[in-house]
């Protein structure tokens, strides 16, 4: 296998990951909104919510600063090294058709910033639920047992 095909494969992997990343953010937000209305407990999972917020936060910050997405740049650079255009690969064409459409760059900037604001608003008004850790048994074993409805360690 020659080096150009490795570059093409790497570009295909990057655009596939890029599409999955966008899907996580968009579908994740849709599920969060539905889940908050339906009172699904899992949409308040702090790990999921913080990772989701960080993902769109990076995208919105890049857009606000006028930075082109690094995944887009890496894919284009690798396609150039492979001697390909963006649409010369079936995989590249498919995923790029999902990710990009013919609009001015400023449109995408405002979409990214606006979507970031929506995710942040959802995070603040339907926040994740962080669970409290139960205290370890010790001198206050009886007090914590009464509080959590368990037996003190000495009685177990």
Residue 148 scores a pLDDT above 70: no
Query: How is the chain split into domains, by residue range?
Result: 3-131
Residue 153 scores a pLDDT above 70: no
Residue 140 scores a pLDDT above 70: no
Neighbouring residues of 116: CB distance < 8 A, sequence distance ≥ 6: 56, 57, 59, 60, 61, 63
Counting Cα atoms < 13 Å in the Cβ hemisphere of 156 gives 9
Residues 81-119 pLDDT 10s: 999 988 889 999 999 999 988 888 899 999 999 999 999
Bigger pLDDT: 109 vs 132: 109
Task: Identify the weakest region by mean pLDDT among 23-27, 45-49, 148-152.
Answer: 148-152
Residues 30-74 pLDDT 10s: 999 999 999 999 999 999 999 999 999 999 999 999 999 999 999
Would you state the structure tokens that stand for residue 127, as one six-digit string? 């926040």
Would you state the structure tokens that stand for residue 96, as one six-digit string? 């790029």
Q: pTM of the entire structure?
A: 0.80
């Amino acid at each position: 296998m020659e080096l150009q095909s490795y570059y093409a494969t790497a570009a295909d992997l990057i655009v596939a990951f890029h599409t999955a990343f966008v899907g996580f953010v968009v579908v994740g937000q849709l599920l969060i909104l539905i889940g908050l209305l339906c009172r699904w407990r899992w949409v308040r999972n702090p790990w999921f919510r913080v990772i989701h917020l960080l993902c769109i936060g990076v995208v919105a910050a890049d857009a606000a600063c006028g930075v082109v997405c690094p995944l887009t740049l890496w894919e284009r650079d690798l396609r150039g090294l492979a001697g390909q255009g963006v649409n010369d690969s079936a995989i590249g064409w498919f995923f790029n058709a999902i990710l990009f459409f013919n609009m001015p760059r400023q449109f995408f900037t405002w979409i990214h910033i606006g979507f970031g604001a929506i995710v942040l608003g959802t995070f603040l008004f339907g926040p994740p639920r962080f669970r409290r850790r139960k205290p370890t048994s010790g001198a206050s074993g009886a007090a914590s047992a009464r509080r959590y409805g368990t037996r003190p360690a000495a009685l177990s």
